[in-house]
Structure 1
Amino acid sequence: MRGDESFLHADTGVTSELFVERSLNEIRFWSRIMKEHSLFLKLGFRAEDTQLIQEANQFYKLFEQIEQTAHVLTNQTDPERIRRFNTEVQQAATSIYMFKRKVLGLILTCKMPGANNFPLLVDHVSREANYFRKRLLELNEGKLNALPDAIIKENVFFLRIMADHAKFIGHLLDPSERKLVDIARNFSNDFDQLLFQAKDLESMRPQSQTVPLLDQFLDQNRVSVSSLRDFKKTARDLIEQCRIKSIIHPLLADHVFREADRFLEIIDMFDAHLTSSTPQPGNSN
């Protein structure tokens, strides 16, 4: 994943080239995710939720336009133009975050009986919107986490996302798909444990931020994320071929696969930079 270098640097400075590349990388990925969230939320609303359906449609169109613009812009675009674009997109991400939290409030206060959006799913998609908006703010401020902090922070975020995905898959598969439901449940338990481990490492900072510990942390997470990514790919293919019973939209199956794939790319990028930043024997620091 090109462009991840900017938040891996030990300092907080971001060059103009990395700023543009990283900004476009984030917006191209997450604007599509936000667009699809709008669709998934709409599909879970009741027929009488006309206002919410209209708002979801508006967000879908908004992020579709953002996605198209991001693909027109290039790494040679003037950084000031990108800075303004980041601000526009950050405002859109903030708006959809507030919309998602409003929907969550309606569900939790039992004002939408019979709707089909799980509260955890709505919370999940709002966390991703908040992640997106905060990333754009950090980019525009030229402030990104140093390598050790970034490794732990990003893994805590994405491990929770992966644990949620496993739970959603398990609940949206038909109960008669007993083997697949059992596999999804096992993944859920696995990622819950990985998340607890990551939070333990986080609470032990800065003493826990040693290269050996972080290297093992990344290696262990990579193994589990790779397995989950492969399971999601298999499930996506089976759903598209109508070979298993579920209420999972084919686009949702591809959506969660892409997020796992991105997490793997981030882990690999962290690992490469962690290795390159490790002093070699005989070299001075």
Structure 2
Amino acid sequence: MLSSAEYIQLSLESNLFWVRIMKEHAIFIESAMPPPLNHIARQAEHFKQQFAVLLSETIRHANGLVSSGALQSGQYYTNFTEAAEQAVQNSTGIGTDGYLTQMEYNIEPLTTYSITPETEDAVNQLNGYILNMVNAFAAFKADLLDNQSACRIFTLLYTADISHILHEAQRYIQLLTGLQNKDENFNQNYAEFWNQNMAEHAKSMRGLFDPSETAFINEADRYGRVFDALAQVPTISALPDTKDISAFKATATQGMLSCKVKAIMSPLYTDHNLREANHYIHLMQP
């Protein structure tokens, strides 16, 4: 069973990562809806706003209670995040809440534990709020996936991508449920989950580079095959390959921001995938 100190730290470190991921899923959904699906775009905007509030609350509670390793891992923001957020806001008109990234820069790392029952109660309450919101968001994604799979709607998202972001919401629900039970094994089987995720990132990116970007397409295809193989044997360390795909995603993000790499995906999408790779690296490192 997790101690109170472990419960607080692990909850906040997890929420700093996952709430931002959920918020950006809402942005990606909203930006991919054609005019006849404006009602879905409005629902996605509502979820984005709710997750922005929850991320702000998480940042407020996290100050002085999360490890320096987590803060420096590149899983919460990268050197590209602010610029990527601004680029998406400029191109789509969707607010990306860049002030939250700036707030994250100022989170102080854990030095000594100063845990009170009030702190634990506040984190417990925050986890509960987040869990309710992610459950609702997962149901929204499942409905979106069902409608697109049945050809009742058309969006600018791959059906596989909708399935991917649904699985991520379901994974977050499992993690939060485990944390609320103070289960020390709340993040078990993470390698199996993240190897599959890395493979799916590579395959989606492969199909979103401009056809002229042959080198990037071929490299993405190679990473898809590498992580498909790793997903079959999760006991093999994926750390070297995850560091490699992280660098690949960083190069793609930088290239799109400087208009040197052509693609029909946003730099926020690739930066989002980069942070997920960095999160996996953080989990694998002692």
Match of 1:161 in 2: 197
Which has the higher Rg, Structure 1 or Structure 2?
A: 1
- 2:166 aligned to which of 111, 115, 126: 126
Alpha-carbon distance in structure 2 between the residues aligned to 1:106 and 1:139: 32
Match of 1:24 in 2: 12
Shift of 1:168: 1.0
Shift of 1:144: 3.0
- 1:250 aligned to which of 262, 267, 270: 267
Match of 1:206 in 2: none
Match of 1:97 in 2: 138
1:33 to 2:74 alignment = no
Shift of 1:103: 0.4
Alignment deviations for residues 30-52 of structure 1 (CA, whole Å, 9 cap, x no partner): 11100000000111111110210
Structure 1 residue runs without a partner (length 5+): 1-12, 199-213, 273-285
Moved more, 119-128 or 68-77: 68-77
Match of 1:3 in 2: none
RMSD: 1.3
Write out aligned runs for 1:1-285 (5 A).
13-74=1-62, 75=65, 76=115, 78-113=119-154, 115-145=155-185, 150=188, 153-198=189-234, 214=235, 217-218=236-237, 221-268=238-285, 272=286
Alpha-carbon distance in structure 2 between the residues aligned to 1:84 and 1:138: 15
Identity of aligned residues (%): 24
Question: Secondary structure of 1:73's match?
Answer: helix
Question: Does the CA contact (< 8 Å) of 1:159 and 1:195 recur in 2?
Answer: yes
Shift of 1:251: 0.7
- Matched residue count: 233
TM-score of the superposition, structure 2-length normalised?
Answer: 0.79
Q: Which has the higher contact order (CA 8 A, sep 6+)?
A: 2
Question: Secondary structure of 1:78's match?
Answer: helix
Question: Secondary structure of 2:36's match?
Answer: coil
Alpha-carbon distance in structure 2 between the residues aligned to 1:144 and 1:135: 11
Alignment deviations for residues 219-275 of structure 1 (CA, whole Å, 9 cap, x no partner): xx111111101101111100110001101101111100000001001011xxx3xxx
Amino acid at match of 1:160: Q
Question: Secondary structure of 1:223's match?
Answer: helix
Question: Does the CA contact (< 8 Å) of 1:225 and 1:260 recur in 2?
Answer: yes
Match of 2:70 in 1: none
TM-score of the superposition, structure 1-length normalised?
Answer: 0.79
Shift of 1:106: 0.7
Amino acid at match of 1:60: K
Alpha-carbon distance in structure 2 between the residues aligned to 1:143 and 1:245: 45
Runs of 4 or more above 4 Å deviation: none
